[in-house]
Structure 1
């Protein structure tokens, strides 16, 4: 079961809003101790929530500083202002950067067509959270039809299972992988049934029922059984492995998804290869939890005895 899960880089999405300090360089070095893909995001939505002011000058400097350690980085988008988002895209490009452009729900379709006509073949989709699922699915259906194979897409914060099963995304990110260490809600993926299993820590009946699935995630059920036995390293590792299992399942469902050739490619800007998707990035603002996840993937999955 672990064979198709091994061999993929560890994937994390790190936002400038959370990782603006020099300590980010240390985290990147640690993540890249093993194969890793790191998606740099401006974190504009989080910055508004936290009361942080982001400037395009500072964000551009951050992207330049870590350009060789980031697999890609996003535009500094402005939700509700597509023309401002477009101007930021061009401003960052004028500063020698190649960000992935961002198109949001609710924006005029002419902006998506503009990105496509300008040769952007990898586009991020934003403002997906908070919308009714049927509306998201209908919007995504139109996005993929307009693109008609000319581009692939990243879904920001996309955790709608039906959307990932129906549409061949190149990449997505999710912060819900952290529900175990944040709220005690453990999410495991059963790749035999293709379904998520959710259970609360310290729910002994559920832990007993799903003990084999927990062990398949390279964790001991005791790590979730009580406050005295709780192991945060195991919680984060099991969560990361669950999303690795889900990533492999969805990738197998759609087959390899590749970025079409074009003049703008935010992944291959430094000559790096663009590995076929799906790629599922773990979005997280805590370096501690990303270290736990990366270590868990490496030691429990990649280096685990067959």
Structure 2
């Protein structure tokens, strides 16, 4: 039986201009405990509107250019419900010498996805996936993957719908739901033996901790250390949440096999001689530094523990 440890990949994080525009990305990456990291830059346009942040294309372009070395890739400044504006932003950022990943949203005419494909974009993000009924979004994804087959791979923004991850070979996805464990003390663990998730349970639920004790230990965590909601325990819970999503990532990667970006001149990862590694890649999203620092430290500590056992 394959052992899924969640320790075999670089640490992967999604950072948003809306939350991180005043942060030194070089300083952030330099403080991560993990030696190898993959960082996805996103505009966070929707968050910027809700936070009252004035986000301009020039400001975002300057941010992407400034931190180009630290960012593995970065997305276009997309506009939900505005495919023409999203397309113009893509062209404008490219005129600045940048290589953003284009974004296609649910609700946009399919002709826009076909345009990106015809223009030679081989790595495209799918957006506005959240909030759609499963019975509607799964057929929509099926059509997107059918149109792009052999021509492009996809990133799924906020895509943690397990049925979709099992069915569709995404090259990459991101998730912010992993951080709910530390915020609310609610746990949900991935069991690679069954390929399923446990029901949610509170971290101070002693009966659940006893029931899932072996699974918790497989995440390099002592279940006896969890039956409290004390703030001092949150770093350990963050580590547990990070590792369980990484184990799920490893399981899905094995399920679909290596997913590679088709060759082409518009690969947003392979710029300046970089190499795009096979997916699936799961990026952990967070609005602040602390959860990602704790998650990276947890991954590195688990690696060290695994190497001594």
Identify the TM-score tier after normalising by the shorter chain: over 0.9
**Partner of residue 193, structure 1:** 194
Query: Per-residue displacement from partner, 1:113-141 (whole Å, max 9, x unpaired)?
Result: 00000000000000000000111101001
- Tell me how far 1:265 sits from its aligned partner: 0.6
TM-score by length of 2: 0.95
**Cα deviation 1:49-76 (Å, max 9, x = unaligned):** 2121210111011101110111000000
Take 1:55 and 1:225, find their aligned partners in 2: how far apart are those partners?
46
**What is the aligned partner in structure 2 of residue 233 from structure 1?**
235
Q: Is the 8 A contact 1:6 1:302 kept in 2?
A: no
Question: Would you say the 8 A contact 2:34–2:299 is kept in 1?
Answer: no
**Residues 29 and 230 (structure 1), Cα distance of their counterparts in 2 relative to 1, 3 Å cut:** closer
Correspondences of 1:26-105 after superposition (within 5 Å): 26-31=27-32, 34-105=35-106
2:276 is aligned, of 274, 280, 283, to 274
Residue in structure 1 matched with residue 204 of structure 2 by the alignment: 202
Offset of residue 228 of structure 1: 4.7
User: Given that residues 157 and 174 in structure 2 are in contact (C-alpha distance below 8 angstroms), is that contact kept between their aligned partners in structure 1?
Assistant: yes
Q: Deviations over 1:71-116 (max 9, x none)?
A: 0000000110000000000000000100000000000111000000
> Whole-Å Cα distance in 1 between the matches of residues 57 and 186 of structure 2?
37
Instruction: Tell me, yes or no, if the aligned pair for 1:128 and 1:157 is still in contact at 8 Å.
Output: yes
Uncovered stretches (5+) of structure 1, i.e. residues with no partner: none
The answer for the alignment partner of 1:180 in structure 2 is: 181
Distance 1:158 1:51, change over 3 A: same
Query: Structure 1 stretch 16-25 or stretch 113-122: which is displaced more?
Result: 16-25
Q: Quote the Cα distance in structure 1 between the aligned partners of 2:241 and 2:131.
A: 23
- Calculate the TM-score normalised by the size of structure 1: 0.96
Helix, strand or coil at the partner of 2:242: helix
Larger CA deviation: 266-275 vs 116-125: 266-275
Structure 2: gaps (5+ residues): none
Work out the CA distance in 2 between the residues paired with 1:142 and 1:219.
Answer: 41
Structure with more contact order per residue of length (Cα contacts < 8 Å, sep ≥ 6): 2
After superposition, residues 249-288 of structure 1 pair within 5 angstroms as 249-288=251-290
For 1:3 and 1:165, the matched residues in 2 are separated by 16
Instruction: Select between 53-62 and 216-225 the one with higher mean Cα deviation.
Output: 216-225
Name 2:15's counterpart in structure 1.
Answer: 14
Q: How many residues align?
A: 306
**Counterpart contact for 2:171–2:280, Cα < 8 Å:** yes
CA distance in 1, matches of 2:245, 2:147: 29
SS at match of 2:20: coil
Matched, 1:160 2:146: no
Deviates more, 1:248-257 or 1:176-185: 176-185
Task: Give the secondary-structure state (helix, strand or coil) at the position aligned to 1:288.
Answer: helix
Comparing 43-52 with 96-105, greater Cα deviation is found at 43-52
The alpha-carbon deviation at position 149 of structure 1 amounts to 1.6
Distance 1:200 1:215 in 2: 17
- Partner of residue 118, structure 1: 119
**C-alpha distance in 1 between matches for 2:108 and 2:253:** 29
**Maintained 8 Å contact 1:7/1:302:** no
- Distance in 2 between residues matched to 1:227 and 1:80, nearest whole Å: 41
51-60 vs 25-34, which moves further: 25-34
